[in-house]
């Protein structure tokens, strides 16, 4: 890194290695790490540093992992039906939860499941109640 006479910092050469992928604004990009252990992606020729605390940057969803939970329920192929399906399944989970309040899904947990369900749907074009139930179960 160099510093100009005005105090601006810039990188002249960067040692980088691809370490996986990252999901950003609905698309998956190669994830890189530089010699200073900063993680970043390249979008339209610019580098975006990955701050793990930023909510708009999510890990790429593991489609194969979640597909294994699909058994016999019908596939939901309309994005407009996902919200109702998640809300209904969370309500059912909380109503039938034998482990008490400590294992119920709160609004924050429901939002996480909702986001995960939408990410899965974006990646595959479908989701099922079986998969939503598995996502809820892991959040509970």
| Measured CA distances, 78 to 57, 81, 83, 131, 133 (Å) | 24, 6, 10, 15, 18
> Is the pTM value of this prediction over 0.75?
no
Taking residues 30-39, report their average pLDDT: 76
Taking residues 72-98, report their average pLDDT: 91
Position 47 scores a pLDDT of 73
Position 51 scores a pLDDT of 65
For the chain, give the longest Cα–Cα distance: 66
Asked if pLDDT for residue 79 goes beyond 70, the answer is yes
pLDDT band at 57 (very low <50, low <70, confident <90, very high): very low
First vs last Cα of the chain: how many Å apart?
Answer: 46
d(CA 71, CA 122): 20
pLDDT in tens, 86-112: 999 999 999 987 777 778 888 888 998
Q: Where are the domains of the chain?
A: 2-59, 63-139
Position 63 scores a pLDDT of 81
């Amino acid at each position: 890194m160099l510093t100009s006479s005005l105090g601006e910092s810039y990188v002249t050469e960067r040692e980088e290695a691809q370490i996986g992928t990252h999901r950003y604004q609905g698309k998956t990009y190669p994830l890189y790490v530089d010699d200073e252990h900063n993680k970043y992606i390249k979008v339209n020729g610019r580098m975006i540093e990955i701050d793990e605390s930023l909510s708009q940057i999510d890990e790429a969803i593991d489609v194969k992992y979640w597909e294994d939970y699909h058994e016999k329920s019908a596939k939901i192929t309309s994005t407009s039906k996902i919200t109702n399906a998640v809300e209904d399944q969370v309500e059912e989970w909380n109503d039938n939860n034998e482990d008490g309040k400590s294992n119920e899904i709160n609004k924050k947990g429901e939002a996480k499941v909702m986001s995960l369900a939408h990410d899965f749907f974006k990646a595959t074009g479908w989701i099922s109640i079986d998969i939503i139930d598995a996502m809820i179960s892991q959040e509970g």
